């Protein structure tokens, strides 16, 4: 292979001294080569973004931002098929899952394009001839640090409000999806009217560029999606310059099944919640809390559903769950599951596929384990894999206590036919999103983010642009 996926910085395609291979987790084989960036690329990206913020009309021209974001939506949709195929080849998602991820970009960009035109401030004459007004202004340069598990959706989720608010951006994308990154950069590079240096994108497999983005005094706001541990490090490093920090971190999403739930309808949703994206997803269903009176029925239904999941390469139409991101993840997950057998009872053991045509890939069959102690590692730690706990409760209060018993609070779901219970339990749950009789239904008009250690700030909805804005109050006295 001679083509190398490159960085897009200050309107120019750039290479790096270091070149790495991108591999398909379904086969372990190389699918392309990419320029692997670091601090030097981060410095150039921030410099270009700062210059564009200060020297172009981007931060002041709402109509321009609306026009560019709308054109960007069209551009992503025009190359949706190519982008989905590339994503599947690099991170293993099924084509259906990749297609859904890519399809989310158009609506997100158009929603924020509208926000660029419709956002307003507040104004009042507070006394005779004394006028106050408060308006939002862009924070400045925004650094976006995006993970590999949903690089297209999570990139656009942060990029769209940052740009709509009038910021310029320096974006670090992950090495695991370098070819996907380069394709997204190519799509953006061809958007008409986008001023040079407003969007700067580099790929990094290591960890020298990201720290620079967080520590640089020329970066005004950081949006990071990733683990709790790294999120805490980002917050600590950003504190030195008191920059705005937006964090969406880990999750241990509890799905609570009450005795009056529609069990036959709930079981497929539960199974999908832990196997979608091979469980490598912060909102994945990793804890099933089930009322004792229906525990046997749910347990048996889940066992049958999980044992019948078709695991395989994401490009095959018959595949229901693709691989983990790499073999190291398979080893890490299986070691954690094996350790849990000291206190957990396997309902479905799952585990690595070590024989046959799938043995060369990073495949892991779903695992479901019955656990009593909410303080056990399997309940408290995010595995980022198709592994879930099965916990039994006796009443509503116990269900809420169990659901809230971890440091995480990103999402939760309640399955019941009682609308009052759904609202009552939802109010008691310490989570940023609570679904009733469903899972993973999102809308660009409504906030997404976490309580507790699952994050700081919100993306999507009107709060998203606020995360990338400063408020300025003007005072005028008429004479």
Q: Which two tokens stand for residue 476?
A: 């005028």
Close Cβ partners of 86 (under 8 Å, ≥ 6 residues apart): 179, 180, 183
Angle of CA points 235, 440, 222, to nearest 5°: 20
How many C-alpha atoms does 361 have within 13 Å on its Cβ side? Answer: 25
In sequence order, what are the beta bridge partners of 427?
none
How many C-alpha atoms does 410 have within 13 Å on its Cβ side? Answer: 27
Q: 216-255 burial, b for 16+ CB within 10 Å, e for fewer?
A: bebbbbbbbbbebebbebbbebbeeeebbbbbbbbbbbbb
Q: What is the C-alpha to C-alpha distance for residues 30 and 63, in angstroms, rounded to an integer?
A: 43
Close Cβ partners of 472 (under 8 Å, ≥ 6 residues apart): 134, 135, 136, 137
**What 3-state class would DSSP assign to 452?**
helix
Q: Which two tokens stand for residue 248?
A: 């969406």
Helix boundaries (H) for 119-177: 151-164
> Which sequence positions are flagged as catalytic?
248, 282
CB 241 within 8 A of CB 73: no
């Amino acid at each position: 292979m001679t083509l190398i996926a490159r960085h897009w910085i200050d309107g120019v395609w750039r290479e790096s001294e270091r070149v790495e291979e991108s591999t398909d987790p379904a086969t372990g084989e190389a699918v392309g080569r990419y320029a692997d960036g670091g601090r030097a690329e981060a410095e150039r990206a921030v410099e270009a973004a700062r210059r564009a913020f200060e020297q172009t009309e981007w931060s002041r021209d709402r109509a321009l931002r609306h026009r560019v974001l709308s054109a960007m939506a069209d551009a992503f949709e025009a190359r949706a098929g190519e982008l989905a195929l590339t994503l599947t080849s690099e991170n293993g998602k099924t084509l259906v899952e990749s297609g859904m991820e890519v399809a989310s970009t158009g609506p997100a960009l158009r929603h924020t394009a509208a926000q660029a035109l419709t956002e307003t401030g507040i104004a009042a004459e507070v006394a005779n001839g004394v006028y106050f007004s408060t308006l939002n202004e862009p924070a400045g340069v925004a650094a976006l640090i995006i993970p590999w598990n949903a690089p297209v959706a999570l990139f656009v989720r942060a990029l769209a409000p940052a740009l709509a608010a009038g910021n310029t951006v320096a974006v670090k994308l992950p090495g695991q999806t370098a070819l996907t990154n380069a394709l997204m950069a190519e799509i953006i590079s061809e958007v008409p009217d986008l001023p040079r240096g407003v969007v700067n994108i580099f790929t990094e497999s290591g960890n020298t560029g990201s720290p620079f983005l967080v520590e640089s005094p020329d970066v005004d706001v950081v949006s990071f999606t990733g683990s709790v541990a790294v999120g805490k490090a980002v917050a600590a490093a950003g504190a030195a310059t008191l920059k705005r920090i937006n964090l969406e971190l880990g999750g241990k999403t509890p799905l609570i099944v009450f005795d009056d739930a529609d069990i036959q309808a709930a079981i497929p949703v539960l199974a999908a919640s832990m196997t979608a994206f091979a469980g490598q997803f912060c909102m994945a269903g990793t804890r099933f809390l089930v009322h004792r009176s229906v525990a046997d029925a749910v347990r048996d239904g889940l066992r049958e559903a999980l044992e019948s999941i078709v695991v395989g390469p994401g490009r095959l139409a018959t595949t229901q769950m693709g691989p983990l991101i790499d073999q190291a993840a398979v080893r890490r997950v299986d070691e954690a599951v094996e350790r849990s057998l000291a206190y957990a009872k396997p309902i479905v053991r799952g585990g690595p596929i070590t024989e046959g045509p799938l043995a060369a890939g990073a495949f892991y069959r779903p695992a479901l384990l019955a656990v009593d102690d909410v303080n056990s590692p399997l309940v408290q730690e995010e595995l980022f894999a198709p592994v879930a706990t099965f916990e039994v409760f006796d009443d509503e209060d116990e269900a809420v206590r169990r659901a809230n018993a971890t440091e995480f609070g990103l999402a939760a779901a309640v399955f019941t036919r009682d609308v009052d219970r759904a609202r009552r339990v939802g109010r008691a749950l310490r989570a940023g999103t609570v679904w009733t009789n469903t899972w993973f239904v999102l809308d660009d008009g409504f906030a997404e983010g976490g309580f507790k250690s699952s994050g700081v700030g919100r993306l999507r909805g009107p709060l998203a642009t606020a995360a990338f804005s400063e408020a300025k109050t003007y005072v005028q006295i008429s004479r």
